[in-house]
Structure 1
Amino acid sequence: MIDVPVLISGAGPVGLTLALALSRLGVRSVLLNDRKETTRHPKLDVVNCRSMEIFRQLGLAERIRAAGNPLTANQYSAMAASASGPFYTVMADRHLIYQPVQQAQAIIRACRDGSLPLESMQRIAQMHLEPVLMAEVEADPNIELRMGWRLYGFEQGSTGVVAMAHEVDNGEAQQFFAQYLIGCDGPNSRVRNFLNIDYDGTRDLVGELFIIHLRSDEIAGLFPGNQPYWHTWLTRPGFAGLLVSPDASRNDYVLHRPFAPRPGESLESVIDAALGVKLNYQIVQSGPWRPQFLVARSFGRQRVFIAGDATHQFMPTGGLGMNTGVAEAHNLAWKLAACLAGWGGPKLLESYEAERLPVARRNRDHVKKCAAATFEAQMHSTDALLLDGPAGESARRAIGAEFERKVSRLYESLGIEIGYRYHGSPVIEADHASEPAYDEIRYTPTTWSGARLPSAFRDDGTAVFDQLPMDRFTLLAFNADADDYAPLQAAADECRVPLAVLPLHERHLAALYERRFVLVRPDQHVCWRGDSLPMDCHSLFNRLRGAR
């Protein structure tokens, strides 16, 4: 029997991220995966800004960017009759999200009001993201990776979990004793099924869609500067779909269509209709798929938890599938590490579900609205779209404006990506101030307890986030001496909670962070704030570590 602190089932992006986050916190893990290699298909096409902040904390942001879309390439979204035109609109300059990474990062560095993330999003296909994470895992002595191994059962006890796994090819069996088991094993999660946890939501809400993965060196030439747009939404009488370019420097494309080829249609005829011109290409894969809007009713029990697609299945409208899972791994990792280190109390791991399940539901509702917006925008196709002259121009302007009004929510929702808050968490001190706006689209920077700390830069250009250690809480202290926060430091020491102090003096940070003292968790979320210390600092830390 192999003894390991954490056993992780599933080595997709979320399982890999969890293992790496645990390792950064000094925790060993064994990572099991049915497949023997990383995926060969694009799957996701974006790592959003919050996930990039998390990967920055893990020291991986630059490696991911190097493997993805060039930093100078556009991130545009367009609507057109076909990839060769006519184009009704191109969303380019209206929001940070559409800017090339290089330009977006310059805008972020110039921002002083906390309204932007620390990192812009990154276009990258999952088949290029996974190898980056996998290489990091393979080089990490804290992680034992077993590709081609499948979990087939487990039993929980008061001190840990006995899990059984076998090698897929030869059936060799192995028992593991882990203090915690985490299922990152996808929509058909064995871990979730063993726990008898069902999904909440309506299955097959939009029915069956169709996807084609193709490769072509010629499609890029249809776009200005040979840079294919990130998303090109296609609509004209008799045709609707979406052409995705996960990476402008590579020749992979994904074509989505609302239904499979009809009788008399071939895959080639569907692609030709989408492109609007006959080009050379290679079809890599095609098939139907059923998008879902589901969230698990629970995120785990006792010493077994689930994350990623095991907890939720979202239609990719809004790009919140893997990105929600990365935030789940980020939330769970430090809590597991705290409990393994002995200072995390019994309510700390319970708070994982209390915090992340409402966010998953909020994200699902947002994705539903995004899906409805795309369907509605593509419904207004008329013959006038293809006319020459003023009538055609007017029709194209009208549908382009409708597209921007409705579909922009897929891309411009910083409120969803970085504005989520952990309402009512048992390990966050309740904030008695009125809650600021909590909008899906617009992000309101705030240090209201439970919110992600707004990202900002110090006078010397250092990012505040880069001064927040991921293995401890951080007290932001404005114009304070050590004596001013000594009781808080003493209480942390008594409760064995690791605490760093970051003295700050910048006026713009004092205004942004709203209170003289702001306590930030390892996952960059605010858990308490005040202009003076609480009356009972010891009681505060017992709440924050889940001991009461």
Structure 2
Amino acid sequence: MGDTKPVDVLIVGGGPVGLALAGDLGARGVSCALFEKTDGAIRQPKMDGISNRTMEFCRRWGVAEKAKTFPFPADHPNDMVYLTGFDGYELGRESFVRPSGGAELSGAEVSPEPRLRCPQNFFDLILRDFARSHGARVSLNYECEVTAVAQDGEGVSLTCRDNRSGESVERRGRYLVACDGGGSFVREAMGIGMTGLGFLNYSTNVLIRCSDLIARTHILPGYRFFFVGEEGVWATCSHINGQDIWRVQIFGGSEACKPAPEEVEAKIRRAFGAGIEFEILDILPWQRKELLADRYRAGRIFLAGDAAHITSPTGGFGMNTGIADAVDLSWKLTAVLQGWGGPALLDSYEAERRPVGFRAIREASGNLYRTLSVGEVPGLLAQTPEGARLRARVGRTYAATMLREWYKNGIDLGYVYRNSPICVAEEEAEPGPGRGARAEGDPTFLREWQRLVVHEANGTPLKLDWRELPVAEVMLFSQSAEPGARAPHLWLGDGRSTLDHLGGGFVLFVLGPGGTGTAAFERAAAERRIPLDIVRIVEPAVCELYRRKLVLIRPDGHVAWRGDDCGGADGAQALRILERATGA
């Protein structure tokens, strides 16, 4: 089991969230030990979509280009296709050049990085290499199952069993982060409950190898296919590598047990059509749920990823929300361990991330209901004029309904820590969704507006037991530098993004040609040993978007404060701002 000396942070769970946390802590000079009960191999990837925000973290970590090397063909359409079967009728389609809709090709992108297709079995290896690149600071322990956790006033102890040798070892750390999934052992051991909609449905994922499907169907290529029968939507199929690997997801069932192979094969033949040869690689039955941890913290123990929020994969929010949890928690743990973070800093983790987790899981549940919104449609397959009219109507309505899931930058990038105890709020509100910097002359933004109008005009309104976010808040996204928001991306004259200056310690953007003084901030940061870089930017577009002469940005890339000056020469206001931002 390797080294048993104490570390700063213990991490339970070696999926993408745990690996991202280990890598980010290691990059910040923090020692950590990760424990994963399996061998780490991914036999059926549960995710294959990386959001813009996660790709921005990958950019900072130096691994974005590695993720882009996954062999999903660059010219393969990422279309969402609605059909009765590969040997049946295409009902509708939403076309995409890339998962992000091609914005990065138009020069109108809101992020320096695109959304990406990169399944977990490939992405985990990238994150594992990143974590290991920090040498002895990061210890990855596979086939080591945590069997007990206890904490005291000085730290946390865990007992883990080496599943290969049967040996049990105790490890000690100052803090512990549970990244051990929806069935989290640590969460249960801490007695932290979960609330939410609970069980949503049974589903079965089937991983398939099929090399000639696209060549033998009249349906044009795409990324994800939704199968609609007279009973409604009954399955989906994703083209995992754009070549020969597919994942079919079958909805329904009455028990969380593995369906018989012949039943699975029959479902696939219904979707693919007769005469298509395929090989079933793996069958994974699972229960779709929506749950949120009642607390994200118990003393020195924190929850992140699926241990904190369990969500339907509709929208791709699970892993991406979890990695953002890890980035938020990483810099805060670092600050406390290095002595420049105050006692309120770690409390802000739950205050900031739990509302974001709820927002994501509830949006995902709404997306599931949109996926299943077709309902029963007798006569859908009839080869008659009436059947053709019915298929046209169903396809048009369903395609419009699903648009909210595909245009979702408001969820991925638009969360704002408005009530955070460590952000200095403003009295003046920023413009709402649909107004602001992107509203004029931006072709990508105009496309989002057009898809929003189609969704509202032709989509099926859902009758839900909760009030959803306003659709414009999800489908439209205007960048903002208000406190609590992700600092906006714009390209600078040297070819770098504004985001390329962020991610280490705090950064103070000094905007405009006026030469606003920063001495008060620099003295205050030195007094509190807070890492602070000064970045001067004169590009008019950046100054216009950030709206103030001074913008203080946190290590996770979120704005802590902005203003036109930092108060008097005594530096008292600058010190108060930095103390607030570091939880003093």
CA distance in 1, matches of 2:167, 2:504: 37
Q: Tell me which residue corresponds to 1:498.
A: 531
AA partner of residue 180 (structure 1): Y
Aligned to 2:377: 381
Deviates more, 1:323-332 or 1:379-388: 379-388
Q: Retained in 2: the 8 A contact 1:25–1:337?
A: yes
Instruction: Tell me how far 1:135 sits from its aligned partner.
Output: 3.0
Question: What SS class does the counterpart of residue 2 from structure 1 fall into?
Answer: coil
**TM-score, structure 1 as length reference:** 0.92
CA RMSD of aligned residues (A): 2.3
Q: Is the 8 A contact 1:227 1:248 kept in 2?
A: no
Superposed displacement of residue 136, structure 1: 3.0
1:131 aligns with 2:168: no
Cα distance in 2 for partners of 1:424, 1:98 equals 29
SS in 2 for 1:207: strand
Structure-1 residue corresponding to 2:104: 105
CA contact (8 A) 1:68 1:122 kept: no
Name the residue aligned to 2:152: 157
Q: How far 1:238 sits from its partner (Å)?
A: 4.6
CA distance in 1, matches of 2:393, 2:376: 10
Structure 1: runs of 5 or more not aligned: none
1:45 aligned to which of 20, 44, 48: 48
Matches within 5 A, 1:392-541: 392-437=387-432, 439-468=473-502, 470-479=503-512, 484-534=517-567, 536-541=573-578
Q: Give the counterpart letter for 1:117 in structure 2.
A: S
Deviation at 1:279, TM superposition (A): 0.9
SS in structure 2 opposite 1:523?
A: coil
1:466, distance to aligned residue in structure 2 (A)? 1.1
Give the alignment of 1:151-300 within 5 angstroms. 151-204=146-199, 206-222=200-216, 228-238=221-231, 240-259=234-253, 266-300=263-297
Q: Note the C-alpha offset of 1:479.
A: 2.4
Distance in structure 2 (CA, Å) of the matches to 1:263 and 1:340: 52
User: Secondary structure at 1:315's aligned position in 2?
Assistant: coil
- C-alpha separation in 2, matches of 1:182 and 1:241: 36
How do 1:329-340 residues align onto structure 2 when only pairs under 5 Å count? 329-340=326-337
Q: 5+ residue gaps in structure 2?
A: 434-472
Q: Specify the alignment match of 2:360 in structure 1.
A: 363
Give the structure 1 partner of residue 579 of structure 2: 542
Determine the C-alpha separation between the residues in 2 that align with 1:365 and 1:173. Answer: 40
Q: Which residue of 1 aligns with 2:143?
A: 148
Measured after TM superposition, the shift of residue 285 of structure 1 is 2.0
Normalising by structure 2, what TM-score? 0.86
User: CA offset at residue 139 of structure 1?
Assistant: 4.1
1:407-451 residue CA offsets vs partner (Å, 9 max, x unmatched): 111111110000001121111111221243261221121111101
- How far off is 1:375 after superposition? 0.8
Does residue 7 of structure 2 align to residue 4 of structure 1? yes
Describe the shift of the 1:216–1:523 C-alpha distance in structure 2 as closer, same or farther (beyond 3 A).
same
- Partners of 1:263 and 1:322 in 2: CA distance: 30
Q: Distance in 2 between matches of 1:117 and 1:135?
A: 25
Contact 2:231 2:378 in 1 (8 A): no
The alpha-carbon distance between structure 1 residues 39 and 262, as it changes in their structure 2 partners (threshold 3 A), is: closer
Q: 2:387 and 2:110 mapped to 1: Cα distance?
A: 38
Stretches (4+) displaced over 6 A: 260-265
Partners of 1:366 and 1:307 lie apart in 2 by 19
1:448-484, Cα deviation, whole Å (9 max, x unpaired)? 110111211113332111122x221111111256661
Q: Is the 8 A contact 1:74 1:98 kept in 2?
A: no
Which digits, 9 at most, give the CA deviation of each residue in 1:290-309, with x for residues without a partner?
10111101111221111111
Percent sequence identity over matched residues?
29
Letter in 2 for 1:40: R
Contact 1:38 1:131 in 2 (8 A): no
Higher relative contact order structure (alpha carbons within 8 Å, sequence separation ≥ 6)? 1
How many equivalent pairs are there? Answer: 533
AA paired with 2:553? V
Query: Partner residue of 2:81?
Result: 78
The DSSP-based 3-state class of the residue aligned with 1:432 is coil
2:169 partner SS: strand
Whether the aligned pair in 2 keeps the contact of 1:10 and 1:31 (CA below 8 Å) is yes
Cα gap change, 1:236 to 1:495, in 2 (>3 Å): same
Q: Assess if the C-alpha contact under 8 Å between 2:231 and 2:376 holds in 1.
A: no
The farther-off stretch of 449-458 and 162-171 is 162-171
Residue 353 of structure 1: aligned partner? 350
Going from structure 1 to structure 2, the CA distance change for 1:70 and 1:523 (only over 3 Å counts) comes to farther
CA contact (8 A) 1:203 1:292 kept: yes
CA distance in 2, matches of 1:82, 1:150: 43
Checking the alignment, whether the CA contact within 8 Å between 1:156 and 1:303 is kept in structure 2 is: yes
User: Retained in 1: the 8 A contact 2:13–2:34?
Assistant: yes
Tell me the secondary structure at the aligned position of residue 290 of structure 1. strand
Question: CA shift at 1:257, angstroms?
Answer: 2.6
Which secondary structure state, in structure 2, belongs to the residue aligned with residue 292 of structure 1? strand
